[in-house]
A and B are shown apart, each in its own frame.
Chain A
Amino acid sequence: EMQLVESGGGLVQPGRSLTLSCTTSGFTFGDYGMSWFRQAPGKGLEWVGFIKSKAFGGGTTEYAASVKGRFIISRDDSKSIAYLQMNSLKIEDTGVYYCNGDHGDVDAFDIWGQGTMVTVSS
């Protein structure tokens, strides 16, 4: 069974950093592009960014304008884990963060994790 499990969420003060992990199993991680999405409480979905697979997409990264320069997405293919490093956090970064896997980097956004909550508050 293909699984993505996010971890690392919690309460953090504005201006601080937090790193989320997306641990995967049940599929060939190296063949998947990995994206991060988020959802503020009671609001809609927002794309945060992605890292392409090295096999199909050269491992390139792209970010939403709202997080560019503050967030970094990386991947460890040997461990089948994707990461979202969040720096200079703002209150408006609060929400549930979902990771997503896309087989072959074809923008089909196949597999979703269950999400991890990040609360930015003083």
Chain B
Amino acid sequence: QTVVTQEPSLTVSPGGTVTLTCASSTGAVTSGYYPNWFQQKPGQAPRSLIYFTTQKHSWTPARFSGSLLGGKAALTLSGVQPEDEAKYYCLLYHGGAQRWVFGGGTKLTVL
């Protein structure tokens, strides 16, 4: 069973920078895992932020960026705003029977 691991929670001050990571139990995450990042606020549907590791949608704020970092997928928020407080999920493609697997999510608190 493939497991995708994210930090359970992180706290950042307004205006600060924070990096969330996403690791796979199968090994180093590469672009071939097609990392996606989603934001979900309480009571709302998820919203797609990043696809193909680094690509942003037209609605993705410029302060969000995706990358690969130390064998993991990463989502960096630079100049964090209070409205960025949310849960962030990564999604990785593994092929085989499991196809797409989510991480458990990172609850980001802006304090």
A interface residues (Cβ-Cβ under 8 A, vs B): 37, 44-47, 62, 64-65, 68, 98, 106-110, 112-115
The A interface, classified by DSSP as helix, strand, loop or mixed, is loop
18 sampled A-B residue pairs with Cβ under 8 A:
A44-B104, A45-B46, A45-B89, A45-B91, A45-B102, A46-B102, A47-B99, A65-B98, A98-B45, A106-B51, A106-B52, A108-B36, A108-B55, A108-B57, A109-B38, A109-B51, A112-B47, A115-B45
B62 on interface, CB distance cutoff 8 Å: no
How many A-B contacts are there with CB distance less than 8 Å? 55
Q: Which residues of A contact B102 (CB under 8 A)?
A: 44-47
Q: Which of A44, A65, A112 contacts B48 (CB 8 A)?
A: A112
The B interface, classified by DSSP as helix, strand, loop or mixed, is strand
Decide if B52 touches A108 in the complex (CB within 8 Å). yes
B interface residues (Cβ-Cβ under 8 A, vs A): 34, 36, 38, 40, 45-48, 51-52, 55, 57, 89, 91, 93, 97-105
Q: Which residues of B contact A112 (CB under 8 A)?
A: 45-48
With A44-B102, A47-B99, A47-B100: A107-B48 Cβ-Cβ less than 8 Å: no
Complex CA–CA separation, A46 to B4 (angstroms): 12
Decide if B45 touches A114 in the complex (CB within 8 Å). yes
* Minimal Cβ-Cβ distance residue in A for B100: A47
Q: Which residues of A contact B52 (CB under 8 A)?
A: 106-108
